[in-house]
Amino acid sequence: MPRDRLEGLFRAAVPEYARVPGLIRKYFTIGDDNRAGGIYLWSSRAAAEAWYNDAWKAGVAKRWGAPANVSYFAVPALVDGQTPDFPAAK
């Protein structure tokens, strides 16, 4: 899919994602090969698992023609370049 079409689809999806319970932030991503993806920051693992249900997975497969690939990562430390005094590690 062309990059400009992906960008349009991503912008159109913003209102839907703005209403997702527990979603703090979503980065819509496009690889050099125009592969679409996302990086999500959740308030909890439970909130993420509630979102990535069977209906979501089926929707991804239908919309993009490929199954979703979901990986979970812990965040033991953080650097916030926008806030110099941010406590990066506790």
Each residue's pLDDT expressed in tens, for the chain with a length of 90 residues: 889 999 999 999 999 999 999 999 999 999 999 989 999 999 999 999 999 999 999 999 998 889 999 999 988 888 877 776 766 555
Q: How many independent structural domains does the chain possess?
A: 1
State residue 78's pLDDT score.
Answer: 82
Look up the CATH number of the domain holding residue 12: 3.30.70
The CA distance from 38 to 27, in Å, is 5
Query: What is the extent of the structural domain holding 49?
Result: 1-90
Gap between the terminal Cα atoms of the chain: 43
State residue 87's pLDDT score.
Answer: 64
State residue 79's pLDDT score.
Answer: 81
CA distances from 41 to 1, 24, 89 (A): 26, 5, 17
